[in-house]
């Protein structure tokens, strides 16, 4: 844990104030006024950042509270799981939009800080706040994505097990009862209650022949099979839609996690381009200096040769 150097800073400020003629009491008054000003004046950016941080904290607590119920099978129904997933998705989407707005505001502050050197520290601090909020939001999104992946795997395993049970020889044998017996279909209790026959004693006038009763029973069973098939198709479509929504959410989370890496790569590419341009300028200067140096050396050699020839002629 780092040491607190606040007292050392205060002593240094007192010494500096005494050297410039400012008393310690006046320094304390200035410090108190500055502290009260910082507590009373809260900008829109700071208020929005605090609200986003509070929302992320509440979302983290909500996920931690319902995580076990959401992941472990049997603790809650599919409807409750869907409600939890929808609530978390809405909260993450709202927080993402707010963080994006804060990021735009911080980027605008960075651009304006270039013209006002005194605001560079404020712009850097706001960028740090946005980065911290984004990291917290990505962390809770990753945790919930793991929960959704576990639920998706559980659904896949349950569907595979149900498919194996349907295709097993025992289930096939059980699904074909002998002729004349009342057929039963698994999972068709609601349909059977609606389609069950009135077994109360009928009057002699309304009594049907055995052939008509068999035909009516066969039509009821055909209708029951059709309703069950349509119900299974509707359930399959609903599962497919939910799986697509889950995969889309996971893909969006991965894209969000890679957004910062892409921005970092872009900044590094821009910096590398600037370095290459600067290197080209230095290379151009080096080539120009090298050319001028060669010319100077050539002139010196010509002058030396001419002087040698002159002195040789003079002494001869």
DSSP state letter for 20: T
pLDDT at res. 191: 43
Tokens of 168: 């097993």
Tell me, what's the pLDDT at 208? Answer: 65
The ranges of the chain with pLDDT < 50 are 1-2, 36-37, 39-40, 169-206
As a whole number of angstroms, the distance between CA 156 and CA 53 comes to: 36
What pLDDT score was predicted for residue 168? 59
pLDDT for the residue 1: 41
Separation CA 75–CA 81 (nearest Å) = 10
- Tally of CA atoms within 13 A in the half-sphere of 197 that contains its CB: 15
DSSP state of 178: P
Identify the pLDDT of residue 160.
Answer: 75
pLDDT at 117: 62
Cα 240 to chain center, whole Å?
Answer: 23
Sign of CA dihedral 88, 90, 96, 99: negative
pLDDT given at position 200: 44
Q: For 18-67, what is each residue's pLDDT tens digit?
A: 888 888 888 888 777 665 445 445 678 888 888 888 999 998 898 888 88
Residue 4, pLDDT score: 64
Angle of helix 120-167 versus helix 210-315 axis, rounded to 10: 140
The pLDDT assigned to 207 comes to 61
pLDDT value, residue 41: 57
Let me know if 56 is exposed, middle or buried by CB neighbors in 10 A (0-12, 13-18, 19+).
buried
Question: Nearest 5 degrees, angle CA 61-CA 62-CA 66?
Answer: 120
Q: What is the pLDDT of residue 197?
A: 42
Burial of 27 (0-12, 13-18, 19+ CB in 10 A): middle
pTM over 0.75: no
């Amino acid at each position: 844990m780092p040491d607190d150097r606040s007292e050392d800073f205060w002593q240094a400020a007192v010494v500096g104030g005494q050297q410039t003629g400012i008393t310690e009491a006046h320094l304390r008054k200035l410090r108190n006024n500055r502290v009260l000003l910082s507590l009373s004046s809260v900008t829109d950016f700071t208020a929005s950042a605090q609200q986003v941080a509070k929302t992320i904290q509440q979302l983290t607590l909500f996920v931690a509270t319902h995580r076990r119920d959401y992941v472990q099978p049997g603790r809650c129904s599919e409807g409750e799981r869907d409600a939890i997933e929808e609530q978390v998705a809405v909260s993450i989407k709202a927080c993402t939009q707010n963080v994006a707005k804060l990021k735009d505001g911080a980027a605008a502050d960075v651009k304006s800080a270039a013209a006002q050197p005194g605001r560079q520290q404020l712009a850097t601090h706001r960028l740090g706040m946005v980065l911290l909020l984004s990291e917290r939001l990505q962390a809770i999104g990753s945790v919930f994505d793991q929960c959704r992946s576990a639920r998706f795997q559980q659904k896949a395993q349950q569907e595979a097990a149900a498919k194996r049970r349907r295709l097993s020889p025992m289930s096939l044998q059980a699904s074909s009862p002998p002729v004349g017996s009342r057929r039963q279909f698994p999972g068709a209790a609601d349909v059977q209650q609606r389609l069950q026959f009135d077994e109360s004693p009928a009057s002699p006038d309304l009594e049907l022949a055995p052939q008509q009763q068999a035909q009516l029973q066969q039509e009821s069973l055909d209708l029951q099979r059709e309703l069950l098939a349509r119900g299974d198709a509707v359930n399959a479509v609903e599962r497919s839609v939910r799986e697509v929504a889950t995969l889309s959410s996971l893909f969006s989370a991965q894209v969000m996690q890679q957004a910062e890496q892409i921005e970092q790569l872009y900044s590094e590419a821009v910096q590398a381009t600037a370095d290459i341009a600067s290197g080209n300028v230095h290379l151009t200067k080096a080539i120009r200096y090298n050319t001028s140096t060669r010319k100077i050396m050539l002139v010196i050699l010509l002058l030396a040769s001419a002087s040698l020839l002159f002195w040789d002629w003079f002494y001869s």
